[in-house]
Every structure is written in structure tokens, then in C-alpha cells.
Chain A
Amino acid sequence: MSEGIDEGLRSKLQQQGVWVTSVQELYNWGRKNSIWPLQFGLACCAIEMIATAASRYDIARFGGEVFRPSPRQADLMIVAGTVTKKMAPQIVRLYNQMADPKYVIAMGACAISGGPFKQGYNVLKGIDRYIPVDVYIPGCPPRPEALLHAFMELQSKIDEQKLSGANKAAHLEPEEPSEFPVPEFGKHDLEPPANPNVFRPPAIERA
């Protein structure tokens, strides 16, 4: 839709005081500035998330201060902390219960890979094994500035989502799934250990 506007004409109009926009830009502008995160924390990263939401760092400046205690009202899931294998099914179920469009920020080393507990028997090696993650934040724990940066990255990602066309946003595609299978407790590990439709790790190349 914004492809329809000639950029030169647009800036010329703007110099004359005429502001031209498109439905897609308005839609994304509204969405990216009122992201409602889901209110839950898993470990020490949650303390940093609380600090980000509080007055000193103030995520409200970016329109993300309305932490909702129900997945029905939330757009963003901030996976803040260690995801144990006992907790992973609940996380996936909560993600499934969120309304589209929904986004995930994996906050901290544990949420993105298992972190210092990666070799442990009871910690999931990254939440991206089961649900699609939009922004990863490294750090143990990441500082509130890092979460704010991830939030801004997510906002720019939302801003670039297409409303129509071949590569439109996933939540607008009727075939794209909105729910992902919840892992179950097997004999030794979660079954399945990862969702192959979601988890596509980069192949490790060794020389």
C-alpha cells in the first residue's frame, strides 16, 4: 500500500503541509505504539523487566506499560527468565491463548538458549524450540536498557509488516498457524524435544 505513494511527491506534499499516509502505515503505527505485554516472569530476568516497567526506565515511553494478567488481552510475551521443562508446556499454552497478532521477546541467556543451565537436565534449551521468537536479548540478566532496545527493535519489526501482498504479516495469512503443539512430559524429556516447524537452528559448520 505504501508502495503506491511516490516518495518524491510525498516529501513535496509534506513541504506544503500536506501529510499523506496509507492504511498500512496507520495500522502499524497504532499497533507498534500500544504493545501490551503479558504479565509474567520466570526468574531473575523478571526483576529487570519490572525495573523496565517502573519509573526509572519507564517502558511507558514506548507505549508498552500496560502489562496484562490475561493472555486474552496481551500482544507481547516477554519470556523473562529460565524456562524449566516443567514450565515450558504452560508457556506454550499461554502463547496459544494469546490473540493474534502476537509477538515474543526471549529475554536473557536462559530464554534464548538455556544459558548457564544449558547442560542441566531440567532446563529447556531456548523457548524458540516451541514458539516463534521475534527478538532475542542476550545477557544474564540483560539490563533494562537492553529490554528497551529489544522493544524498539520489535516496534520497527511491526512497522515493516505488510498488510497485503505475497509476504504479508503471518497473523494475516489464513494458513499460518496461531497455535503450536504443547509439549508433553515423556519418559526422559519433553515430547517432542522441539517443534521442527518452528525450531530451525543454524547448522554448525566446523572446519
Chain B
Amino acid sequence: MTPNPYLFIVIFIGVALVFPLIPLALAWLWRRVFQPPKPGPQKNAIYECGVESLGEAQIQFRSQYYLYAIIFLIFDVEAIFLVPFAVAFTGLPVGAFIAILVFLLLLIEGLIWAWSKGCLQWER
């Protein structure tokens, strides 16, 4: 009589169950027989590099931060384009000069808009 071809899978599942269960059972026995558990308020506390943890884990950032990002973009992009503009200033044709002025005006317009909206005023 030939054994069932799926028998080895059953054996495999059995071994896969027993193999991790033996160390777990041994560890449980070890704790029962030898090692007394010693829990404590600090041992069970949330681990935070030695300092006591403060506040909640789920904090939210204020949506006001997006204004910072936009205004930073205005100043940053302006500064990046102003440097090559200043370097090549004396050799620029009139068309390029007007183009860069338009570009600057657009950014300054944005700054004035943000200013008039009161975005430069940081509240709380």
C-alpha cells in the first residue's frame, strides 16, 4: 500500500508546529521554575531614551505651515535666479532684462499679496 501523497505535508505541518512550540514551552517552564518576574512602573513604562515620555504619540501639525512653504519658495527661487542675473547684468540685452524684471515683479507681487493677507504675521 502506498502512503497518501499528501502525508508528507501533514508531517511537515506537524514539525513546523512542534519546532517553535518546544522552545516557547521551555522558556515558559524556565520562568515558572527559576526566574521570578519582576515588573515595575519604570520597567513597564514607555521607552524613550531614558527620559520620561511626555504627551501623546499622535500629534498634529498645524495647517498654517503651508504658508511657510509657499513664502519660502518665493524668497528661495528669487534668490537663486537673482545671482545669475546679477552676474550677467552688464551684458544683458534689453529683452532679457525686461523678461527678468517681469519674473521678479511676479514674485514680488506674490510677496505683496502674502504680506497684505497677513501671512508674514506668525500667529501662535
A binding-site residues for B, Cβ under 8 Å = 70-72, 89-91, 93-94, 96-97, 99-100, 163-164, 171-174, 177-179, 182
Bound: A45/B118 CA distance, A? 53
Beyond known contacts A94-B49, A163-B34, A178-B38: 20 more, CB 8 A cutoff: A70-B47, A89-B50, A90-B49, A90-B50, A91-B50, A93-B52, A96-B42, A97-B45, A97-B47, A99-B43, A100-B38, A171-B35, A171-B38, A173-B36, A174-B36, A178-B40, A178-B43, A179-B41, A179-B42, A182-B42
In the complex, the 8 A-B pairs of residues with the closest C-beta atoms, listed nearest first: A90-B50, A178-B38, A174-B36, A96-B42, A179-B40, A94-B50, A93-B50, A179-B42
Contacts A90-B50, A90-B51, A91-B50; A96 near B43 (Cβ below 8 A): yes
Closest A residue to B30 by beta carbon equals A27
B55, chain A: closest CB distance, angstroms: 18
Q: B43's contact among A70, A97, A171, by CB below 8 Å, is which? A: A97
Chain A's nearest CB lies how many Å from the CB of B78? 43
- State which of A89, A96, A163, A171 has its C-beta within 8 Å of the C-beta of B40: A96
B10-55: which residues lie under 8 A (CB-CB) from chain A? 34-36, 38, 40-43, 45, 47, 49-52
A163–B30 Cα distance when bound, in Å, is: 11
Interface-centre pick from B34, B40, B45 (highest chain A CB count, 10 A): B34
In angstroms, Cα B36 to Cα A171, docked, is 8
A71 to B50, CA, bound (A): 9
- Nearest residue (CB) in B for A175 is B36
Whole-angstrom CA separation of A71 from B44 in the bound complex: 11
- Residues on A with C-beta less than 8 A from B51 are 90, 93
Task: Decide if A172 touches B50 in the complex (CB within 8 Å).
Answer: no
Chain B residues with Cβ under 8 A from A171's Cβ?
A: 35, 38
CB distance from B93 to the nearest CB of A (A): 60
Question: A96 to B42, alpha carbons, bound, how many Å?
Answer: 6
- What are some 7 contacts across the A-B interface (CB < 8 A)? A90-B50, A93-B42, A94-B50, A96-B40, A97-B43, A99-B43, A174-B36
Partner pick for B47 among A71, A91, A164, A174, CB 8 A cutoff = A71
Give every chain B residue within 8 A of A97 (Cβ-Cβ). 42-43, 45, 47, 50
Cβ of B38 to closest chain A Cβ, rounded Å: 4
Instruction: Report B-chain residues with C-beta under 8 Å of the C-beta of A164.
Output: 34
**A93: B residues at CB distance < 8 A:** 42, 50-52
How many angstroms from the CA of A93 to the CA of B49 in the assembled complex? 9
**Which of A70, A164, A173, A178 has the most chain B CB atoms closer than 10 A to its own CB?**
A178
**What residues of chain A lie closer than 8 Å to B35, measured between beta carbons?**
100, 171-172
- State in angstroms the CA–CA spacing of A72 and B36 once bound together: 17
In angstroms, Cα B57 to Cα A100, docked, is 28
Most buried by A among B42, B45, B51: B42
Residue numbers in B under 8 Å from A174 (CB-CB) = 36, 38
* Complexed CA–CA distance, A164 and B33 (Å): 10
* B47 CB contacts on chain A under 8 angstroms: 70-72, 97
